[in-house]
Structure 1
């Protein structure tokens, strides 16, 4: 009947990429009539027992189509069924030993198909309990369980209202690739499922947005700006306002103005061996904290170009905000025209003259000179002195990196 997959074998992660697997699962689950058939198909594809729960009823089927042995259900990978933003049950597979990377994609597609059945009243025919106890409470299941991968309860793969990229498994697989806790063998398999067979270095890119609704467009636009088509750069929304791109390790295509829109910050990590992508991701996240931080900062920042400045992002927030220089900058910004004063202070610290700063800010140089005099009084520093100008610039950076409401954090 199903024809697309042998029984009881599962699709080989070494043979199929994530899009191919997703196409296969869509073909299998797209025409199921009820929950019982959905679970039977899933168990046959997985080659191990699969299950579904809905309103206290539990369905379990083995790979041969019958009911597995009665007893406690031990899901190895599971996923909430979400309808209109609310949990309506869950699906799972029960694989002995370590879960396979494609189990995450399978359960996500199961959950999507089950959500359609729930919305259409199709869950339940032939249902009822088949001798299994209900697995853990859905309130503790905010996402698929993969060994070593931290799951954020707001991760978009469990909420249909947030962006879902071409492959529902992409966020989970991208997260697996970037998690420092993921074993190297599992990271390699996740890369393969993403359609990557890296023979050289790769880099991670962090995309942070002020508003969750902008994340989809920001991820795709960032890939284009980096001269990598979105279809070639696996991407995933890891949290509502943070997404990731995985790119080949070629140099970043810039030194040119990059058209990243306001409200989007992009940090590019260094090129590393694939097994070290979590290190690139950590540096990309830090670089994103500097992107668009002030009038002289681009909205796309390469961690390699930050140099030692990137260490400022590692200073604990409490320690940074408690420093007298940073507190003085905070007082300066609290004045009625504080944002303009801080922009002027930054421009003066990062340019070679008042006239150059005035040109950057589109102001007359006398207006800049007046603001500088006010800033010097509040900071108790002389901005004509190179050492004190550097000190002021450091204080401005620490304030902006840690200021309350900085969405880049």
Structure 2
């Protein structure tokens, strides 16, 4: 997916190709009123179902729902596969910004890729709307005035899921950690909450990313006699870890699994028979309320297979684009494109509100805050039908869900 024409989906300006080239003056006017959004994610690997084409579908739905095309604003969407490699993600980002005039980089699962994108976007004074990379360093040590961290992060996941497990008696932990930036950050943040609650981390192992065979690591986890095995991984790694733990009989021996980042597509892949009883934290669930159900009905026909329910990373893409396009419409395209920092500051100055993620706000450090939800996966008997997978255990208010701004150490706030 390196050719620009193959990676570009046009919305608003799409009719141009059907009716021939526009006159020069009209083409210039259209170009002056066009914004370009680059959706950068895993289109072919272990995060494909978590993000991939589903994120693109949610972005296109946001463009339609925003109504900006009726106001004469053209929106072009460029799609790229970063293959979960920082070098590939960095190369695409530079090409998009320097050659293809992309204004916004969006989504970017895999924290190592996101941290690379974060640096480039700041250098070019563009915008990074991160929906799917989890590292809390994006609003801490690596914070940027050009970046908004939208959907979730390792601090929030650790506090909600990790905290719940400790309160339920899981006071000794062993970590299976994906060996890259996201896994390290999730293990770090969860370990801090375990220790603060009086628990202990008795061991851990760094697993290759991506991984397929976790059996040897699970033997080490069992030998540690930890009450909880924390899975500091995601996507296919989480699915394989849980399946192999079930096959190995780890949970039958009394050990609890803490899926520190799990998506509804993971539950679907596992099946309720295997996933039942697991707890996870999300900021979106398609069946949470009337607004989330309405959003899901609109986007569902364009989701992969016409049946995959959007997960929180994909819903976050919708929410972020809705707020960005609202800001573009208020500022005007030339002003919004002129400075990424100015546009981000404008986005921070007003509350967010959309059907997918509901109401929220964006802090000065770029952290979008909203409530987080702790869910338990239903048993097959409890489920009422397809994709009815979660029951809500608790809600953490927005002001408590994420790391306090004073604890993040965001450097640009001090300058």
* TM bracket (short chain): under 0.3
Report the TM-score, using the length of structure 1 for normalisation.
Answer: 0.25
More strand by share: 2
Greater RCO (CA < 8 Å, at least 6 residues apart):
2
